[in-house]
């Protein structure tokens, strides 16, 4: 009798993501419900047949992954991918991302963690082999059905169709067969990047603009623009953006403007503070400015604020991710807003 009760308690953290989706969305996301059900069943069977110590570790990892995924979804509107694992090895990134963090789903987090701790307090006898095989078979059938139904709901977002661990596993499997990106042709840098320009030659004529907008499109290299590829002596690749070209016919293109980096906060630091970011995974210079107010006041937003401009920073994601809620006010933005500022429905969820 006690073993049956313990098995029911163990099922709670395994199927909480399913119950949470059901409570929030009802049956509006049937594909996601099937994914939650299948993954919950697989984890449940694996925990049942695992030794107690292994079960404790796996249950905690399952709970932390589900909670972390929901927080990432709330902040960045996406589920974790295999490539995100590298960030967990960066202590500075983890520390600054977690600093001042307020859980978007505290009820789910508390329920998952408490139920996980509870199920770790007792031993459970493994069920019969027949039950185990039946459980794995049922989970496989559910996953098969989820895959078929998912094709009919392909217009839904990834989060609406997959449990975070399900999507993570698929992304990891796909990365094994994903072809390497085509290497760019080896070419010489433009002359302007072979020397240091300390004279501060302005690129734009002095004007009387009342508004200055800096729109950052993350993950879009300038080489997608044929004119920039030509200026950099790089053959035009297979990926181009003709609509961007069409809308920049009268634009002033700066092909040798460098702001690329491996994290958003580092690229923004380069753009706004006129300095190369670190190309390692050490603490970003943006966070170092917290202890260097003189240098922070040299950044563009602070300079504009000192000259009478109103400075605003907007991003379509939570501000606590990468600590932008701390960095952006520090470098001179007077108003800093995240996804709460964007009230219109997302046309591309």
pLDDT of residue 225 exceeding 90, the answer is no
Contact in structure between 261 and 279 (CB atoms under 8 Å): yes
pTM recorded for the entire structure? 0.59
Per-residue confidence band for 185, with pLDDT thresholds at 50, 70 and 90: very low
Contact in structure between 341 and 314 (CB atoms under 8 Å): yes
Share of the chain above pLDDT 90, in %: 34
pLDDT digits (tens, 9 = 90+) for 37-91: 999 999 999 999 999 899 999 999 999 999 989 988 887 778 888 878 877 777 7
pLDDT digits (tens, 9 = 90+) for 249-277: 877 777 766 666 777 888 888 888 888 88
At 299, give phi and psi (nearest 5°).
Answer: -70, 155
Taking the C-alpha atoms of residue 312 and residue 113, their distance in angstroms, rounded to an integer, is 38
pLDDT of residue 182 exceeding 60, the answer is no
Report pLDDT for 184. 45
pLDDT digits (tens, 9 = 90+) for 103-147: 888 899 999 999 999 988 888 888 888 989 999 999 999 999 999
If one compares 262 and 189, the residue with the highest pLDDT of the two is 262
At 335, give phi and psi (nearest 5°).
Answer: -125, 125
According to DSSP H, which parts of 153-236 are helical? 158-161, 164-177, 226-231
Contact in structure between 47 and 10 (CB atoms under 8 Å): yes
Residue 330, C-beta contacts closer than 8 angstroms, at least 6 positions apart: 289, 290, 293, 296
pLDDT digits (tens, 9 = 90+) for 191-224: 665 666 656 666 666 667 678 888 887 777 778 8
**Rounded mean pLDDT of 226-254?**
80
Which pair of tokens denotes residue 206? 């002095």
Give the angle 39-42-44 at the CA atoms, nearest 5°.
105
pLDDT digits (tens, 9 = 90+) for 22-32: 999 999 999 99
At 336, give phi and psi (nearest 5°).
Answer: -130, 120
Which long-range CB contacts under 8 A does 275-282 form with residues at least 24 apart? Answer: 281/86, 281/89, 281/90, 281/92, 281/93, 282/92
């Amino acid at each position: 009798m006690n073993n049956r009760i313990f098995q029911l308690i163990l099922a709670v953290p395994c199927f909480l993501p399913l119950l949470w989706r059901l409570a929030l969305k009802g049956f509006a996301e049937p594909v996601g419900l099937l994914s939650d059900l299948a993954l919950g069943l697989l984890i449940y069977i694996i925990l049942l047949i695992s030794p107690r110590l292994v079960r404790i570790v796996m249950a905690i990892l399952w709970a932390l992954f589900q909670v972390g995924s929901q927080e990432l979804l709330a902040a960045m509107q996406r589920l974790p991918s295999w490539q995100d694992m590298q960030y967990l090895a960066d202590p500075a990134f983890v520390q600054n991302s977690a600093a001042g963090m307020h859980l978007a789903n505290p009820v789910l987090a508390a329920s998952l963690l408490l139920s996980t701790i509870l199920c770790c307090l007792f031993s459970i006898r493994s069920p019969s082999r027949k039950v185990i095989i039946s459980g794995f078979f049922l989970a496989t059938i559910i996953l098969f059905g989820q895959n078929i139904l998912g094709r009919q709901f392909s217009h839904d977002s990834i989060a609406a169709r997959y449990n975070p661990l399900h999507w993570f596993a698929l992304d990891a499997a796909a990365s094994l067969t994903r072809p390497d990106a085509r290497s760019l042709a080896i070419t010489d840098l433009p002359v302007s990047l072979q020397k240091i320009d300390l004279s501060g030659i302005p690129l734009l004529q002095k004007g009387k603009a009342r508004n200055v907008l800096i729109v950052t499109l993350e993950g879009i290299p300038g080489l997608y623009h044929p004119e920039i590829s030509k200026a950099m002596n790089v053959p035009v690749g297979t990926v181009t953006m003709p609509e961007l070209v069409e809308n920049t016919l009268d634009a002033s293109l700066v092909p040798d403007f460098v702001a690329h980096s491996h994290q958003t906060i580092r690229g923004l630091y380069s753009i706004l503070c006129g300095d190369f970011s670190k190309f390692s995974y050490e603490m970003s210079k943006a966070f170092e400015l917290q202890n260097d107010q003189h240098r922070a006041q040299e950044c563009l937003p602070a300079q504009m604020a000192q000259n009478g401009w109103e400075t605003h920073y907007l991003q379509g994601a939570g501000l606590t991710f990468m600590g932008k809620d701390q960095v952006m006010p520090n470098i001179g933005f007077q108003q800093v807003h995240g996804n709460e500022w964007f009230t219109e429905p997302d046309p591309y969820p």
